[in-house]
Chain A
């Protein structure tokens, strides 16, 4: 069945904004400001905006050239074939699981903030029973997702923008001059700056919804790239302005207790009084509930797609007899959301969601480079400017953001990395088992292992000067070089044997 293209530029922008503006701003700014970068978090937001814009050039070119369903999964599939697209799908699913779990935690936190305004005793009850509430929320959303409830996304975006505009307008009555918003030019400050950018990065990634919706957009060759650019700029401006006011309203010197609400809620109640506290808490609740629901739908769609392509068991593709939704995929994904959500660890989930998204961004940039080489005559209504600098910069920045939180030895980042590695290992085993069972191609596995060895070798060489003692320096560099060489040989020997 042909897709109906009926959405114009404005609708495309709303689609991007509705994907991006959400619960993340309520959750992520807090740790970034109070525990990581302080006021220079504002500059980190700008930096994230730039990285996002660079990668959106790649997204724009790919979505205009391949305006079909599937987004990142399709781009990597056309560029590299099976394994990489399988990885991209899994990473996207992983980021969505962690993002959904984070949204569930934010729901409970914002519910607590709401009750703190007029019923502190109920707030205690909410916080004590947080896990129970998360399980309850996810179960309700499972039923709603299976029934296929439509969301009023445009309405939510309009409400959000209105609340932010009121917040910014009322802040004009105050003299807000946050200090030190530019990080110091020292190694440690810059490392903290990059780690902060990595942590708050999920605030931007939701605008990929626009790419997923590209098949519904009229004249996608022009409208999708334009909408992506405009959305990125709008988002960066809104986030920058809101963070600037929040940091100005709640200076680090302000006395603070563990029971205080998150930064944005605190700033809202400082500037707008109790009405602001209630308004922002309500916005946080609506955004988080909407995000958990969206995450569950996205996850089921990814699992269903990979199941259709034969990478995952067919049972995940099974649709509900009455509602037509992939109910088993929804339930399977929701179990992971519950598992990670009940941990209640906002910082861990923030990093974990970010890591998955950054890796997907790197893969999309790699796909662009590969497709320019592999299919030079492909019709490209939009071309990423300054090629190959932009996709290369996108890859380098993604790797930088992935690396710095771990170099800083942020325990949340390390736990997130461990969990992500664990999940990726499961993914690799799944892929291997599926491929062997189907007797498809030994060479694919060899190319995959070669790619991993190459990546590990490069990472080892990059990280060795930073984390390894000088006595071990040469050994580690040698191990890295051998790994790179082995990766190249494995890929060269097997890649051409894959159909």
Chain B
């Protein structure tokens, strides 16, 4: 039970971090901050697709991470 609780916390926090990073990356891509579109060599016609994928991944990661952290906090 202890191991499962630790695993839940680690995965939950990791997912929150990944979700936030992907979300920030999506915003940076959209605004082309620090010329990230050039850095990632991104064709302009594919930008909406990448934004959508990053946005959805970020959204579901944050929600899922939130559920896991909620589960972990409920047990501690």
Contact = CB atoms under 8 A, between A and B. Distances in A.
A414 B49 contact: yes
Contact of A486 (B40, B56, B64): B64
A226 interface: no
B27 interface: no
Contacts of A411: 45
A318 interface: no
B61 A418 contact: no
Nearest to A479: B18
Interface of B: 7-8, 11-12, 14-15, 18, 22, 40-41, 45-46, 48-49, 52, 56-57, 60-61, 63-65, 67-68, 71
A452 B11 CA distance: 16
A450 B49 contact: no
Interface residues of A, number: 26
Given A414-B46, A482-B14, A485-B11, A490 B64 contact: yes
- The 4 A-B pairs at the shortest CB distance, nearest first, are namely A453-B64, A482-B14, A486-B64, A486-B15
Contacts of A469: 40-41
Contact of A449 (B8, B46, B60): B60
B67 A446 contact: yes
A449 B41 CA distance: 32
A489 B10 CA distance: 12
B8 to A, nearest CB: 6
Contacts of A421: 52, 56
A460 B68 CA distance: 21
* Of listed A418, A425, A483, residue having the most chain B CB within 10 A: A483
Contact of B68 (A422, A425, A490): A490
Contacts of B63: 449
A486 B46 contact: no
B49 A483 contact: no
Contacts of A479: 18, 22, 57
A409 B49 CA distance: 10
Contact of B67 (A482, A483, A485, A490): A490
Contacts of B48: 418
Taking chain B's interface residues, is the majority helix, strand, or loop, or is none over half, making it mixed?
A: helix
A84 B57 CA distance: 19
Given A409-B46, A453-B15, 14 more contacts: A414-B49, A418-B49, A421-B56, A422-B52, A425-B56, A449-B60, A449-B64, A450-B64, A452-B64, A456-B56, A483-B18, A483-B64, A485-B7, A486-B11
Nearest to B8: A489
A38 interface: no
Nearest to B17: A482
A343 B52 CA distance: 22
Nearest to A442: B67
A449 B67 contact: yes
A79 interface: no
A450 B63 CA distance: 10
7 contacts: A409-B46, A418-B48, A449-B64, A453-B60, A483-B15, A486-B12, A489-B7
Nearest to B41: A469
B57 A482 contact: no
A454 to B, nearest CB: 10
Contacts of B61: 453, 483, 486
A49 B71 CA distance: 46
Interface string A411-429: 1001001100110010000
A486 B52 CA distance: 21
Contacts of B64: 449-450, 452-453, 483, 486-487, 490
B1 to A, nearest CB: 12
Contacts of A456: 56-57, 60
Contacts of A182: none
